[in-house]
Amino acid sequence: FSVVNPWTQSAWDLLAFVQKRWLKNIVFVLQQADLRDPAEIAVIRRHLQDTALQKLGTTPPIFAVSARQALLARTGAPGAASLEEKSQIIPLQEHIDLIMADASAHALKLRSAWQTAQVVLKEIASEVREAFRTISHDEERFDRLMHFLQARKEQTLRQVHGFVRGIDQACRDCAVEGTRFLESKLTFWTTVNMIWRRDYWQRDFQEEMETKLRQIVQPQIENAVQLLETDLRGIWPQLQDMIETHFGGEVKSQAPRTLPDFARQRRELLQSIQLTLAERSGGNAIEDQMGEIFRETSDRLRIPAGVAAAGGLVALVAAMSSAAVADVTGVLAASAAIIGTLLAKRQRGKILRVYAEQMEAKRSELVLAIENQISHTIDLFYGEINAAIQPLTAFCTAQRAHFQLLV
């Protein structure tokens, strides 16, 4: 015991351990006695006597010594005799000599000490081996837990296409509906009417299709997010069950208990998908290309329309003066009208084809963007799960390092 802090529990724990096997000829040594006054030493001595009687059932001899004073006395310091007397090392030596005076007793004590040390070392080694075995098992279980999470993540990622299948079909339905609507609008006379109204489609069609796309796709987006949330919510009970089943008390206490914030993750995912939908559906690519085709149609129809109108007018005037001239101009006007009709039908088909191609490209782009958003959310979720269970592996690492010092 140190007189600086003689109340430490570790010494009594050691005595309680030794008491089961070897409690013969134990002495209490108060170290650094020169740091305390004699009155304080007396108080500490009485405390040790009372505590020993209570815990051990006996009161071992107590020696208050100062190794520093004894060393000074034996290295030739001034006042060596006084220092040696104050150190109280002589009474301790005499007590040890008395016990060890007999040769047989000496051998017996050494053998007893050796046997006790062997027993203690074997028990410590057994405890260390058991601790390492437990730590190794925990590390193996943690590896299996990480493999489970990785496999579960891959399974969720494989389901992403299924989550957005409804969105994909909604985009296809919207494209079909838009094509039908465009076909109903692009009659022969409507196509011819583009000669004078180039911006017809831009005013009447694009805005309506964007609105319908949002109305059709929005419920499917919410359904996809709900499917993802249901899938991710199923992971948490599985994770907790594995931890409860396979890990012990101390390791189990390091496991996460707080449920992930699914509401926040759902809200953030919906916001990101809605922003993506607004960016993709509100683009000007279709509007620009279709507007260009309408302008091209207007320009191309103006030539035969002008020829037909001029020919008709000339034929009317010529009919009043010359039948031959009227026939020629009439044929010219009729030819221009036929060419204009064929051109109008051709441009109508081109408009429908370009619209279908643009809607298909927009559908693919939108579905891919939403899949990427969902995949990113899945990565974030599993990243949070992995971060939450890191205290498990940190605890195992700390325990291994602790017991490694005892090897």
Side-chain half-sphere of 313: how many Cα atoms within 13 Å?
6
Quick one: 239 and 278 in the same domain? yes
Using DSSP bridges, classify how beta strands 28-30 and 62-64 pair: parallel, antiparallel or unpaired.
parallel
Assigned domain for 119 exists: no
Out of 56, 82, 101, pick the residue that ends a domain.
101
Assigned domain for 197 exists: yes
Assigned domain for 194 exists: yes
Quick one: 295 and 381 in the same domain? yes
| Whole-number pLDDT of residue 271 | 79
Quick one: 59 and 140 in the same domain? no
Determine phi and psi for 29, rounding to 5 degrees: -115, 120
Angle between helices 165-185 and 206-233 (to 10 degrees): 170
Among 84, 46, 40, smallest CA distance to 65 is for: 84
| Whole-number pLDDT of residue 346 | 65
Quick one: 71 and 156 in the same domain? no
Assigned domain for 121 exists: no
Q: Is the pLDDT of residue 140 over 60?
A: yes
**Of 42 and 162, which is predicted with more confidence?**
42
| Whole-number pLDDT of residue 319 | 44
* CB-CB contact of 19 with 56 (8 Å): yes
Q: Per residue in 213-259, pLDDT tens? A: 777 778 877 887 888 888 888 887 887 787 777 766 666 666 666 66
SS3 assignment for 345-390: HHHHHHHHHHHHHHHHHHHHHHHHHHHHHHHHHHHHHHHHHHHHHH
Quick one: 243 and 364 in the same domain? yes
273 vs 280: CA distance, rounded Å: 10
260 vs 383: CA distance, rounded Å: 11
145 vs 351: CA distance, rounded Å: 57
Quick one: 195 and 281 in the same domain? yes
Q: What tokens appear for 377 in the block?
A: 């959310």
64 vs 38: CA distance, rounded Å: 10
* CB-CB contact of 311 with 329 (8 Å): yes
Q: Is the pLDDT of residue 15 over 80?
A: no
**Burial state string for 120-141 with b = 16 or more CB within 10 A and e = fewer than 16:** eeeeeeeeeeeebebbeebbeb
**What mean pLDDT is predicted for residues 1-9?**
65
Q: Is the pLDDT of residue 375 over 80?
A: yes
**Radius of gyration, alpha carbons of the chain:** 48
Domain enclosing residue 72, as ranges: 9-101
Q: Is the pLDDT of residue 160 over 50?
A: yes
Q: Is residue 82 very low, low, confident or very high in pLDDT (cuts 50, 70, 90)?
A: confident
216 vs 167: CA distance, rounded Å: 9
Q: Is residue 317 very low, low, confident or very high in pLDDT (cuts 50, 70, 90)?
A: very low
Quick one: 171 and 92 in the same domain? no
Determine phi and psi for 339, rounding to 5 degrees: -60, -45
Determine phi and psi for 348, rounding to 5 degrees: -60, -45
Give the helix ranges, DSSP H, for 258-322. Answer: 262-281, 285-319
| Whole-number pLDDT of residue 295 | 55
Quick one: 81 and 140 in the same domain? no
Q: Is the pLDDT of residue 193 over 60?
A: no
Cα 200-205-207 angle, rounded to 5 deg: 120
Q: Quick one: how far is CA 17 from the chain centroid?
A: 47
Helix, strand, or coil (residue 101): coil
Q: Is residue 331 very low, low, confident or very high in pLDDT (cuts 50, 70, 90)?
A: very low
Among 298, 305, 350, 307, smallest CA distance to 190 is for: 298
The domain tally of the chain equals 2
Quick one: 135 and 94 in the same domain? no
Quick one: 318 and 263 in the same domain? yes
Quick one: 41 and 165 in the same domain? no
Quote the mean pLDDT of the chain.
Answer: 71
* CB-CB contact of 170 with 223 (8 Å): no
Cα 364-186-180 angle, rounded to 5 deg: 45
| Cβ-proximal residues to 256 (8 Å cutoff; 6+ apart), any chain | 388, 389, 391
Assigned domain for 112 exists: no
Quick one: 174 and 270 in the same domain? yes
Assigned domain for 216 exists: yes
206 vs 75: CA distance, rounded Å: 105
**Of 73 and 403, which is predicted with more confidence?**
73
347 vs 364: CA distance, rounded Å: 26
Q: Is the pLDDT of residue 320 over 50?
A: no
Q: What is the largest CA-CA distance in the chain?
A: 162
Q: Is residue 302 very low, low, confident or very high in pLDDT (cuts 50, 70, 90)?
A: very low
